[in-house]
Structure 1
Amino acid sequence: MANKLALVTGASSGIGFSLAKELGSRGYDLVICSAGARLEAAADTLRSTGSAVEAIQADLATREGIDELWNAVKASSRPLDIACINAGVGVGGLFYETDLDEELKMVDLNCTGTVHLTKHVIKSMLGQDGGKILFTASIAGEMVAPREAVYAATKAFVLSFAHSVRYELRDSNITVTALQPGPTNTDFFHRAGMDNTEVGSKGKSESEPDDVAHQGIEALLAGKDHVYAASGKTKLEGMLANVVPGSVKGSMHEKMAKPLDEK
């Protein structure tokens, strides 16, 4: 029997790479996508699991990039069993100081690209009468997040989108799961310009991407609506997210996200 097929975006490093590795170890063939230069190296590593891996280098912040990726998925002529819609970036800093173009590009990737790709995925899965979708949201999507205001807003969008689409599909054989990691030991904070912050220098060590991915895939395969991953602190923050006042959440996040040398 042929392996099932899984799609993972943002798979050249970090949580996306770990999601792909987790699925490869479970016997899935992979279509992986990233705009980064590390994609081919990631694909070579993933092939060591014994899975067939197709790597598509495309910018999913653009319509052309989404179309390029989806055309590759269609060209396989195989049912898409799992889609991990994970690609995303962050921008750190005070909103009135951050670069507008960087933030709009982030919105294009984290929100617009997610909607565009999901439209293709769901129509395909409805046509084949089944499938599983994992969205990488964030604990930040439930927080007041000074110095990551736009990033957190994009993740709140992804979280709301995932929950709403899940409800729409409740009578189908498609399940939708939101993965909500906290700070994770990846290069996310470096790329967001947040190395010189508490969360970017030591807070990210609370979770390893392999642990986040394992918990995410376990929740996906179990059909759960969401999972907080992977540290105990993240799970506690998730439980308290709708109880703690916004001013308290904002103060907590401000401490983690401001430069270490700022009073």
Structure 2
Amino acid sequence: MSVSRQFAIVTGASTGIGLELAKCCAREGFDLLIAADEPEIDNAASEIRKTGVNVTAVQADLSTIEGVDKLYAAAAGRPVDALLANAGRGLGRAFLDQDFTRARFVIDTNITGTVYLVHRVGNDMRRRNAGKILITGSIAGFIPGSFQAVYNGTKAFLDSFSFALREELRDTNVTVTCLMPGATETKFFERADMMDTSVGVAEKDDAAEVAKTGFDAMMRGDGDVVSGMKNKIQSSVANILPAGMLARQHRKQAEPGSARS
């Protein structure tokens, strides 16, 4: 990697928003270290290298401490100018019907792995008093997620965590931005076993547009950004309506079989 360029780490970069975030970084001339828990990360690296930047790909299970350590070690001590913590998993169906191993994987990927990586890289940034952190939260974090209870709960954590960390770093030159998308056209709903739900088959936001919204906000140093007008309205309404009503509304979108109703 060329040390004259800025350097970014992007997780969950094999597909979807993560891949598009990595492309945003490449267009701005960042060298990249990208990671995901699947072999497709190598294909993503090959695609991004066509832009002329240096790209290192790491396949690692970012739900584990060992996987995050593997990613961190791959940076080889190079200062990280931007950390885009995007790795995440979803899971549909009623909580008590879910396999707990899969539910825990969602928690460990979305929360434990993300927080550990931010802790490691964030400490390096604070010591240098420079750096940008983008955390992919979700407007789902504002809504009790009936039939997505664990996933929405993890996003509520990440939204809250991002705001808190930003305040803690207010007097430094390290910025924290929370990207809060709505339903986006990715492999998320297929992987979450939600293709028989209303939200699973509905028209969704474009991943490239969502990523650009988040990337631009990170580069400006904004605290948070909700992508898309529809999602902005939904997040505003979620701050007003009672939690029970929001949970009932979410059920209509996420309950198995709702795609046929």
Give the TM bin, normalised by the shorter chain. Answer: over 0.9
Aligned-pair identity in percent equals 41
Match of 1:8 in 2: 10
Q: Which amino acid is the alignment partner of residue 234 of structure 1?
A: N
Matched residue type, 1:69: L
- Give the aligned partner of residue 214 of structure 2: 216
Q: Deviations over 1:212-254 (max 9, x none)?
A: 000001111111111111x321111112221122232122211
**C-alpha separation between the residues in 2 aligned to 1:25 and 1:254?**
40
Letter aligned with residue 213 of structure 2: Q
Q: For residues 158-213 of structure 1, what are the alpha-carbon distances to aligned partners after superposition, in whole Å with 9 as ceiling and x for unaligned?
A: 111111111110001000000000000001000000011111112xx331110000
The SS at the match of 2:95 is coil
Partner of 2:91: 91
Match of 2:72 in 1: 70
Q: CA deviation at 1:116?
A: 0.9
Q: Given residue 223 of structure 2, which amino acid in structure 1 is its aligned partner?
A: D
Which residue is 1:130 aligned to? 130
Q: What is the match of residue 250 of structure 2?
A: 253
Using the TM superposition, give the Cα deviation of residue 78 of structure 1 relative to its aligned residue in structure 2, in angstroms. 2.5
- Tell me which residue corresponds to 2:168: 168
Which residue is 1:101 aligned to?
Answer: 101
> Residue 233 of structure 1 corresponds to which residue in structure 2?
230
Rounded to whole Å, the distance in 1 between the matches of 2:240 and 2:16 is: 31
Range with greater deviation from structure 2 (110-119 or 241-250): 241-250
Query: How far apart are the structure 1 equivalents of 2:159 and 2:56?
Result: 28
Distance 1:206 1:56 in 2: 29
How many residues are paired up?
258
Residue aligned with 1:184, SS: coil
Q: Write out per-residue CA displacement over residues 15-39 of structure 1, whole angstroms, 9 at most, x where no aligned residue.
A: 0000001111111111000011211
Q: What residue identity is the alignment partner of 2:135?
A: F
Match of 1:34 in 2: 36
Q: TM-score, normalised by structure 1?
A: 0.95
Deviation at 1:262, TM superposition (A): 6.7
* Residue in 2 that maps onto 1:152: 152
Contact 2:199–2:259 under 8 Å retained in 1 = no
Partner of 2:19: 17
Name the structure 1 match of 2:196: 196
Secondary structure of 1:31 counterpart: strand
The letter for the 1-side match of 2:165 is V
Give the alignment's TM-score, normalised by structure 2: 0.96
Question: Which sections of structure 1, spanning at least 5 residues, go unmatched?
Answer: none
CA distance in 2: counterparts of 1:194 and 1:37, whole angstroms: 23
Which 4+ runs in 1 deviate beyond 4 A? none
Query: Cα RMSD between the aligned structures?
Result: 1.3
Q: By how many angstroms is 1:260 displaced?
A: 2.9
Question: Where does the alignment leave 5 or more consecutive residues of structure 2 unmatched?
Answer: none
Secondary structure, aligned partner of 1:79: coil
Give the equivalent residue in structure 2 for 1:112: 112
Contact 2:137 2:180 in 1 (8 A): yes
Aligned residue for 2:51, secondary structure, equals: coil
Q: Aligned partners of 1:235 and 1:51: how far apart in 2? A: 34
